Amino acid sequence: MGRLLDQHFPVVALAPLIVALLVLTVYPALQLVRMAFSDVGIVSGGTTWTFVGLEHLRTLAEDRTARIAFTNTFIFTIVVVPIEAALGLLLAYLVNQTRTLGAFYKTVFIVPLLLPPIAIGALWRLMLDYNYGVVNQALLAIGIAGPPWLASPTLALPMVMLVDVWHWTSFMFLIFLAGVASIPQELGEAAEVDGATPWQVFAHVVLPILKPTIVVALMMRTILAFKVFDVPYLLTGGGPGTATEMINIYIEKVFFQQFRVGYGGMLTLLTALILSTFVIVYQQLSRRAEAAR
Partner 1 sequence: MTFHRTLRWLTTLLVAFALAPSLGAAQQHPPITILINESPWLAGFEVLVDAYVAETGHEVELNVTPFPGMLQRSRNAVTASESEFDLINLNEQWYSLFYAGGLVTPILDIDPEFVLDPQVIEYAYATRWNPDIGYSTEDGALYGLPINGNIQLLFYRSDLFEEAGLSAPTTWDEVEAAAQVLHDPPSRIGLVTRTAPTDWEFQSYLRGYGGSVIEVDDDGQWRVGIADPAAVEALERYIQLNRDYGPANYASVSQAEALSLMQSGRAAMAHVVGAAAPNFENPELSTVQGLVQATIVPGPTADSRATMSGIWVMGIPENLPDARKQAALEFMRWALTFDAQMLYARAGAIPVRQDVYETLGQEDGFGWMQAMADSTPFINAQPRVAEAPQIITAFADQVAAALLGQVSAEEALQTAASEIHRIMVAGGYDVAPLD
Residue among 117 and 148 whose Cβ is closer to partner 1 = 148
In 3D space, the residue among 219, 227, 213, 222 whose CA is nearest the CA of residue 290 turns out to be 213
DSSP 44: T
Neighbours of 15 (CB within 10 A): 11
List binders of partner 1 among 159-198 (CB under 8 A): none
Least distance CB 125 / partner 1 (angstroms): 10
According to the binding rule CB under 8 A, does residue 42 interact with partner 1?
A: yes
The reply to whether 237 sits near partner 1 by the rule CB under 8 A is yes
Which of residues 64, 185, 186, 193 is near partner 1 by CB under 8 A? 64
Interface residue with partner 1, options 100, 141, 184, 257 (CB under 8 A)? 257
Q: Judged by CB under 8 A, which stretch of 11-19, 250-258, 271-279, 284-292 contacts partner 1?
A: 250-258
Residue 30 CA to residue 13 CA, distance in Å, equals: 25
Instruction: Based on the shown chain and the rule CB under 8 A, indicate whether residue 277 belongs to the binding site for partner 1.
Output: no
Q: Rg (Cα) of the chain, in Å, rounded?
A: 24
Question: How big is the site for partner 1, counted in residues (CB under 8 A)?
Answer: 35
Residue 260 found at the interface with partner 1 (CB under 8 A): yes
Measured from the CB atom, is 62 or 194 closer to partner 1?
62
Q: How many angstroms separate the Cα of 39 from the Cα of each of 35, 151, 176, 257, 260?
A: 7, 36, 46, 16, 8
* Alpha carbon 281 to its chain's center: 16
Q: Which of 45, 143, 184, 195 binds partner 1 (CB under 8 A)?
A: 45
Q: Does 112 engage in binding with partner 1 (CB under 8 A)?
A: no
Q: Does the footprint of partner 1 cover residue 137 (CB under 8 A)?
A: no
> Residue 153, interface with partner 1 (CB under 8 A)?
yes
CB 95 within 8 A of CB 102: yes
Is 150 a residue that touches partner 1 (CB under 8 A)?
Answer: yes
| In the chain, beta strands by DSSP E | 38-43, 46-51
DSSP H or E segment with residue 186:
helix 185-193
Closer residue to partner 1 in complex, CB, 103/138? 138
* DSSP assignment string, 202-256: IIIIIHHHHHHHHHHHHHHHHHHHHT--HHHHHHTTT-STTTT--HHHHHHIIII
Contact between 239 and partner 1 by CB under 8 A: the answer reads yes
Q: Which of 64, 293 has the CB closer to partner 1?
A: 64
Beta-bridged to residue 41, according to DSSP, are: 48
Other Cβ atoms within 10 Å of 252 Cβ, number: 16
Site track for partner 1 across 12-31, x = CB under 8 A: --------------------
CB of 167 to partner 1, least distance (A): 22
Tell me if 41 contacts partner 1 by CB under 8 A.
yes
DSSP character at residue 130: T
Q: Does 10 bind partner 1 (CB under 8 A)?
A: no
Residues that bind partner 1 (CB under 8 A): 41-47, 59, 62, 64-65, 129-132, 145, 147-148, 150-153, 236-237, 239-243, 253, 256-260
